[in-house]
Structure 1
Amino acid sequence: MTQLILASQSPRRRELLATLGVEFTTLTANIDESVRPGEAARAYVDRLALAKAQAGLALSGLAQKCWVLGSDTSVVIDDQVLGKPSSEADFQTMMRLLSGRTHQVLTGIALVSKGQCLHDLVTTEVTFMALSKQQISAYWHSSEPVDKAGGYAIQGLGAVFVTRVVGSYSAVVGLPLHETARLLGQARFSLCQGLMPF
């Protein structure tokens, strides 16, 4: 039986993948997530998703009979990738950039096995309301933004700032379900309790 491994310890990605009804295990694939000089946001996200999957495959020890799923989600505005806030000041800068504007959330997914690679990249547009200093400060002190790309969680308290989403909500959370199901179908996994094929 072919094994599926999720190269992530993100609780959100685990929950999303579990909804597809496929059995999987997880591992942590630690890679350098620095943006390379001159690297475009789409290329960055696509590269990280693939790197995570390939690192997971190398760690698995099951290269002959498994597929590894890697994913990366980044918030992008003005061609700038917003990572996890390094401090409250960094977070406030991010929120001022996002306040009252539309930004993009790019999510790359890569499904790899020995000699095979399937991948996709999903772009979702998210619009924020105009934020006051008090709202930004209160959100920071909720502790939710600390480990979130772009400084917010759309599946949490950060959703109160979102006025519009165009595209895949699950991609913003961390794993685009439609596209992931399609790649898993191409890899001949049985999932979704009869909702296949994709």
Structure 2
Amino acid sequence: MPEREIYLASASPRRHEILNQMGIQHRVLIVPPPPGEDEPRLAGESPKHYVMRTASEKSDRALAWIKHQSLPVLPILTADTTVALDDIILGKPGTYEEAKSMLTQLSGHTHQVYTAVTLAFNEQRIDILSTTAVRFAHLDRQDIETYCRTNEPWGKAGAYGIQGKASWFIEHISGSYSGVVGLPIYETGQLLKKMNESQAV
């Protein structure tokens, strides 16, 4: 476990809670988003490459923000979570209809949740990818509409939060539960361990 404090460059309360659970001292760093479309996907880009690139770009923006604001220099942890059904990326819904459409697509199918984590420190950068398969039960129209009225879908990739009421929908999960929540504990711990080993040299 690192003794140094780190930055968590994410506004996600779930990632903050997971770092607290891990016992990692950290400061939440809120970095202004870039102008234009939020995290656009490049033409022909796979979901895995997309999520890795997005986490890395968040790291770039966090490093630039720290320099611009003359903030203390600390290691920076960034992450991005993407829900993919085959090659289709299901982002954060912007409307009630989008949320219903995403949940309808996930109903009765197994999808992948990719969470990429990047750790930048001492001009070094290391990253890791967590991949988890999640199978949804068959949802009827009432299931979907009732869930959307809970307001849980908003701000979540794939329009659901596995740690909330959507847990009722999950038939099976293979991989990292915390990775689906937003920050894979094991993989994040491995990055922090590598940072410790590098600093000990």
Question: What TM-score results when the alignment is normalised by the length of structure 1?
Answer: 0.90
Segments of 5+ residues of structure 1 without an aligned counterpart are: 190-198
Range moving further from structure 2, 10-19 or 86-95: 86-95
Match of 2:178 among 151, 159, 170: 170
Q: One-letter code of the match for 1:123?
A: T
Equivalent pair of 1:57/1:67 in contact (CA under 8 Å): no
Q: Does 1:49 align with 2:55?
A: yes
Match of 2:190 among 175, 179, 182: 182
1:58 corresponds to:
64
Equivalent pair of 2:4/2:25 in contact (CA under 8 Å): no
Match of 2:150 among 127, 139, 142: 142
Matched pairs, number: 189
Segments of 5+ residues of structure 2 without an aligned counterpart are: none
2:81 corresponds to:
73
C-alpha displacement of 1:50: 1.0
Aligned residues with identical type, % of pairs = 40
C-alpha displacement of 1:65: 4.1
Q: One-letter code of the match for 1:33?
A: E
**CA deviation profile, 1:152-180 (whole Å, cap 9, x unmatched):** 00000111000111000000000000010
Equivalent pair of 2:66/2:73 in contact (CA under 8 Å): no
1:87 corresponds to:
95
Three-state SS of the structure 2 residue aligned to 1:108 is strand
C-alpha RMSD of matched pairs (Å): 1.7
Equivalent pair of 1:57/1:63 in contact (CA under 8 Å): no
Distance 1:116 1:90 in 2: 39
Distance 1:188 1:2 in 2: 9
Q: One-letter code of the match for 1:14?
A: H
1:152 corresponds to:
160
Question: What TM-score results when the alignment is normalised by the length of structure 2?
Answer: 0.89
